Amino acid sequence: YGSAKVGLNAYNITLQQKEQNLASEIAQKKNAVEDLQAEVHSMQDKGRVLSMLGEQVQDNSGNIYVIGDSGQ
């Protein structure tokens, strides 16, 4: 009985450590997801995207943006 109790306690400690590691990993992934969502929201702003493209973008009729070759 005593050795079974010690064995189960050791196994319980191992499971608790795994649980803590998984909880930490989940928290890190949640932070990464939140960061990516914030980046997506900032990229949705048309002005930001157009400013990143710089000279590669031509404004055609005020609402159509042509990206790429300016010779056509």
- What's the pLDDT tens digit per position in 29-47? 999 999 999 888 877 766 6
Instruction: Break the chain into its structural domains and give their ranges.
Output: 2-67
| pTM listed for this prediction | 0.54
Q: Which residues of the chain have pLDDT under 50?
A: none
**What's the full length of the chain, in residues?**
72
Q: CA 47: distance to chain centroid? A: 23
